[in-house]
Homo-oligomer: A and B are copies of this chain.
Amino acid sequence: MIKVKLIGATGYGGLGMIEFLLRHPEMKIVCAVALQDAGKKISEAWPYLEGYSDLNIVAPDSEEAKNADADVTVFSTPDGVGQVGAQSELDAGRKVLDYSGDFRFNSTELFREYATRIGKDPVHKSPALLPESVYGLSELHRREIAAARVVGNPGCFAASCILGLAPAFKHGLVEKQGVACDCKTGVSGAGKKPTPGFHYPEQYDNAYAYRLTGHQHVMEIEREMKLLCGADVRLTFTPQVVPMTRGILSCLYGRLPTGMTQEKVLSAYRDMYAGEPFVLVKDFKQPASTGAVRGSNRALITVACDERAGVFRVISHIDNLVKGQAGSAVQNLNIMFGLEETLGLDLPGAHP
């Protein structure tokens, strides 16, 4: 049984981890850490978990947290937390998986560019760990993840876009310039903290774009595309909120290279993702929706190029809290510990 120390246990990302590990046969949470709810049980913070997860929440600097008998520490925390705490976790013999941008870039240079773009402190607090950190999109980095001590879980939008664009950039199915990612998310992507904009009466029946000058997930998409195509890539990214709770619907646009067809694109996507347990490639006549992956670790990738207009178009559907967060994390943990990659994840969500 793999034992997990979970930091940030009471946010939505932490709840996802708790829920998946409740049905995981080989992994369990042994230590739940949270700043604000320390001293409570998890089920006091979240009553729906009563009787299922009644662990005591401990403070980050408590003895219980420091001495937890765990194999791995999951940082379900915002940017800036994992980079400070990772080293001591490693020193205590625990591998590290971090949900934030702290370990998504494996050099101080790249991290500086990332942090600068989004207005955060550009000086990483554990620069020595960056070279060994691995970007945790299982489908693209399975081998490195299996060997890693430190994994940076992908951003939710990023997971959606990278899975939707990877075959295209790898095989030259789209012109590299001028790609636009039009991404609609449910509100849970913003976490559990209430804000005026996500107050129920403000968010119902309301859709809008935000952060039009640059979202924190753009750079990891561009980096992955560069790895796949060998050239610098600059993408446009339009994050949008729509009145739902779960789901990301990303429409990915570019230009079809001369001679490129829907059939060729579709075929390349099917080839690349053949055998992937959590990626399903669809033609545009097949049904797909965010609802079809709600509660599931799957990505549905619809290839729907428009030859008439010369436009490359792929539509990516995920659950932002699963394939976009806790599901990917569990998938990575399975890989990191040599378990079957689908353990604990191979069920559909509930419908409706």
Docked-complex contact B350 and A207, CB < 8 angstroms: no
A255 within 8 A of B: yes
Using known A-B contacts A19-B350, A202-B291, A205-B294, determine if residue A182 contacts B253 with beta carbons closer than 8 Å.
yes
A244 contacts the other chain (Cβ, under 8 Å)?
yes
What CA separation (Å) do A46 and B16 show in the bound complex?
Answer: 24
Flag whether A116 is at the interface (Cβ < 8 A). Answer: no
Q: Are B48 and A240 in contact (CB under 8 A)?
A: no
B347 near A52: Cβ-Cβ < 8 Å: yes
The answer to whether residues A348 and B188 also contact, given A200-B245, A209-B315, A284-B213 and a CB cut-off of 8 A, is: no
Q: Which candidate, A73-81, A139-147, A160-168, A300-308, is the interface stretch facing chain B? A: A300-308
Contacts of A295 in B (CB 8 A): 350
- A352 within 8 Å of B (CB atoms): yes
- Contacting residues, chain B, for A280 (C-beta < 8 A): 50-51
The answer to whether A12 touches B48, judged by C-beta atoms less than 8 angstroms apart, is: no
Contact B208 A249 (CB under 8 A): yes
Is B292 a contact partner of A48 (Cβ separation < 8 A)? Answer: yes
Please provide the chain A residues from 167 to 189 with a CB less than 8 Å away from any CB of chain B in the complex: 177-180, 182, 184, 186-188
A186 with B212: CB separation less than 8 A:
no
Query: 1/0 contact trace for A334-352 toward B, CB 8 Å?
Result: 0000000000001111111
Secondary structure at chain A's binding surface: helix, strand, loop or mixed?
loop
Closest to A303 in B: B212
**Of A205, A280, A317, which is in contact with the most chain B CB atoms at under 10 Å from its CB?**
A205
Q: Is A134 an interface residue (CB 8 A)?
A: no
Interface size bracket, A side: 35 or more
Contact B291–A212 (Cβ < 8 Å): no
Do A350 and B348 touch (CB < 8 A)? no
User: How far, in whole Å, are A52 and B293 apart by their CA atoms in the complex?
Assistant: 12
| Stretch from A82-90, A95-103, A105-113, A231-239 contacting the other chain | A231-239
CB distance from A166 to the nearest CB of B (A): 19
Q: Tell me, rounded to whole Å, the shortest Cβ–Cβ distance linking A27 to chain B.
A: 15
Chain B neighbourhood of A290, CB < 8 A: 205-208
A119 within 8 A of B: no
| Complex CA distance for A234 and B256, rounded to whole angstroms | 14
**Alpha-carbon gap, A50 to B247, bound state (A):** 18
Counting from the closest, the 8 A-B pairs by CB-CB distance are A206-B291, A208-B289, A201-B352, A194-B194, A236-B311, A242-B242, A212-B284, A194-B199
